[in-house]
């Protein structure tokens, strides 16, 4: 069976690898029975406008880029029945990991052509939609630094940014409510909210998070000495960060985080607000469709 796919190409994703590798992608896609049309974005949020305009003409709209590209595409598809697909070529590619799409064109195209769709949850932060996760505090600070790196990508870029940022970041006094119940007004190092399990290029702050379970997973790391954070960095890779004394993990449908000091916040790897005073984050269960390897 053949399908019709719109491929939205972010030319700056993966430090320009999308455009460089686009001829190869087209060559591989042309060998299938399906039709692939290509749309090149021209700036921030353009992918959202394209997806919103064209989605009714296609069986799926596919983000060719990283998590930020997928986020923009989903913000254009939210509220529709058109599935999102992903061809990963970004820095982190965490959403692709959550739907089992590897960084190989042949397999990514094959997954699209198999067209196995499934409903997934979306998150909201303010008036924007996110597909994978939100980071508040150190996580967002590291995200900004990671994007400035020229040579590294994925988890190596994230880990380098973590190490180089530890000496500069100061924990923030946060007021946090989980499903309307206050849980903390202490200083916190970071709060990671996961719809999907991966962050920072495959690291695991919320290893049990699942985009299909109608819940958000939350990891709260309190203020702690730098040496203790350093000694536990391996736990970001193996998913055992919750075993560190003082670290809290929870599941919820809504979380509110506020502070008297500016909060750096990212969603799906993109900066939401470098100086927000408050953020409301909620889950919208089973509200979008996605093509993945199930």
pLDDT for the residue numbered 96:
98
175-178 and 254-267: which strand pairing? antiparallel
pLDDT per residue as tens, the chain (294 positions): 899 999 999 999 987 899 999 999 999 999 999 999 999 999 999 999 999 999 999 999 999 999 999 999 999 999 999 999 999 998 789 999 999 999 999 999 999 999 999 999 999 999 999 999 999 988 787 777 766 666 666 667 767 777 777 777 889 999 999 999 999 778 999 999 999 999 988 889 999 999 999 999 999 999 988 889 889 989 988 999 999 999 999 999 999 999 998 888 999 988 887 677 999 999 999 999 999 999
pLDDT for the residue numbered 153:
63
Does residue 281 sit in helix, strand or coil?
strand
pLDDT for the residue numbered 15:
78
Q: What is the chain's percent helix, strand, coil content, to nearest 5?
A: 30, 35, 30
pLDDT for the residue numbered 273:
73
List the beta bridge partners of residue 291: 117
- Token pair, residue 78, equals 């939210």
∠220-287-122 over CA atoms, to 5°?
25
pLDDT for the residue numbered 84:
98
> Rg of the chain's alpha carbons, rounded to an integer?
19
pLDDT for the residue numbered 152:
67
Calpha distance 124→59 (Å, rounded): 25
Q: How far is CA 89 from the centre of its chain?
A: 13
Torsional sign, CA 129, 203, 264, 252: positive
- Token pair, residue 122, equals 């979306």
Q: Please, are residues 199 and 139 in contact by the beta-carbon 8 Å criterion?
A: yes
Give the residue from 32, 57, 56 showing the smallest Cα distance to 113: 32
pLDDT for the residue numbered 274:
62
Calpha distance 112→70 (Å, rounded): 15
* Residue 159 dihedral angles phi and psi, to the nearest 5°: -65, -40
Calpha distance 265→248 (Å, rounded): 19
């Amino acid at each position: 069976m053949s399908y019709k796919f719109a491929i939205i190409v972010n030319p700056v994703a993966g430090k320009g690898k999308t455009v460089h590798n686009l001829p190869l992608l087209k060559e591989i896609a042309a060998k299938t029975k399906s039709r692939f049309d290509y749309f090149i974005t021209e700036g921030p949020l353009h992918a959202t406008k394209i997806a919103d305009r064209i989605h009714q003409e296609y069986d799926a709209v596919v983000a060719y880029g990283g998590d930020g590209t997928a986020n923009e595409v989903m913000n254009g598809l939210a509220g529709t029945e058109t599935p999102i697909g992903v061809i990963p070529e970004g820095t982190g590619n965490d959403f692709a990991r959550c739907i089992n799409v590897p960084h190989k064109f042949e397999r990514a195209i094959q997954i699209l052509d198999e067209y196995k769709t499934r409903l997934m949850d979306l998150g909201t932060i303010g008036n924007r939609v996110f597909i994978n996760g939100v980071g508040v505090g150190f996580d967002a600070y590291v995200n900004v630094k990671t994007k400035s790196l020229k040579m590294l990508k994925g988890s190596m870029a994230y880990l380098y940014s973590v190490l180089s940022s530890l000496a500069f970041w100061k924990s923030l006094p946060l007021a946090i409510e989980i499903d309307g119940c206050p849980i903390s007004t202490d200083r916190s190092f970071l709060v990671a909210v996961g719809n999907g399990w991966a962050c920072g290029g495959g690291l695991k702050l919320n290893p049990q998070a699942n985009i299909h379970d109608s819940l958000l997973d939350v990891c709260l790391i309190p203020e702690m000495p730098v040496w203790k954070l350093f000694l536990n960095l391996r736990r970001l890779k193996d998913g055992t960060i919750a075993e560190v004394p003082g670290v809290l993990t929870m599941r919820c449908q809504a979380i509110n985080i506020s502070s008297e000091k500016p909060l750096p916040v990212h969603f799906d790897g993109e900066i939401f607000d470098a100086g927000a005073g408050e953020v409301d984050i909620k889950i919208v269960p089973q509200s979008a469709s996605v093509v993945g390897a199930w």
